Amino acid sequence: MKLPKIVILDEKDKRLHERSKEVTFPLSNEDKKMIQDMILYLTMSQIESEREKYDLRAGMGLSACQIGVMKRIFVIVEEVEEEKFKNYIVINPKILSYSEEEIFVGEGEGCLSVNREVLGIVPRKARITVEAYDMDGKKYQIRVREDISIAFQHEIDHLNGILFVDKIDPKNPFKNQEKMREI
């Protein structure tokens, strides 16, 4: 595999705090290539030999804004079995509904744009239903849960100019932890 030329913006970049713009269809060839490059980059970052070869940090989600393209597009690459992946291509997402139950990542959320350790928890909904579009402009709905629900919410936040570190209470980073379920 050849690593795509992707440069991920650092959290200090002001673009990461801007709201991304709705996408119009049909997608341009540049947008289609960007989506395929993002999927390949994330896939390679989750394969140990590729990660070591290219000195990558493992990641499962990436938003277009993280590579400087201010469009409402993100991808998630979920490893379902050893080196077998399920790809989610999400364009112009809207959360239609969510569970009452809140969860958080026990070891803490991470982000390819945040190159430091961050202590604290980010409250997330355990289940969400999202309406979005695929690469062909076809509308679909998807219900996601647990870690994929967290990944979707994390990436949707990116599209709205919010980083996970913005959601951690600086005075009390583990606030309300007892009211949520750790995953």
Computed over its alpha carbons, how large is the radius of gyration of the chain?
16
Contact (CB, 8 A) for 141 and 94:
no
pTM assigned to the model:
0.96
Catalytic-labelled residue, pool 50, 131, 155, 178 = 155
Q: Domain ranges in the chain?
A: 14-182
Q: For residue 117, what are the contacts with CB-CB under 8 A and spacing of at least 6?
A: 108
Between 1 and 54, residue with greater pLDDT = 54
Contact (CB, 8 A) for 104 and 123:
yes
pLDDT of residue 179: 95
Residue 1 pLDDT > 90? no
Residue 180 pLDDT > 90? yes
Residue 177 pLDDT > 90? yes
Q: Sorting pLDDT into bands at 50, 70 and 90, what band is 115?
A: very high
Over pLDDT 70: what percentage of the chain?
Answer: 100
- Three-state DSSP class for residue 121: coil
Active site residue 18: no
Selection from 97, 94, 160, 75 nearest residue 132 by Cα: 94
CATH of domain 14-182: 3.90.45.10
Q: Sorting pLDDT into bands at 50, 70 and 90, what band is 125?
A: very high
Query: What does pLDDT average to over the chain?
Result: 97
Q: Which two tokens stand for residue 49?
A: 């030999």
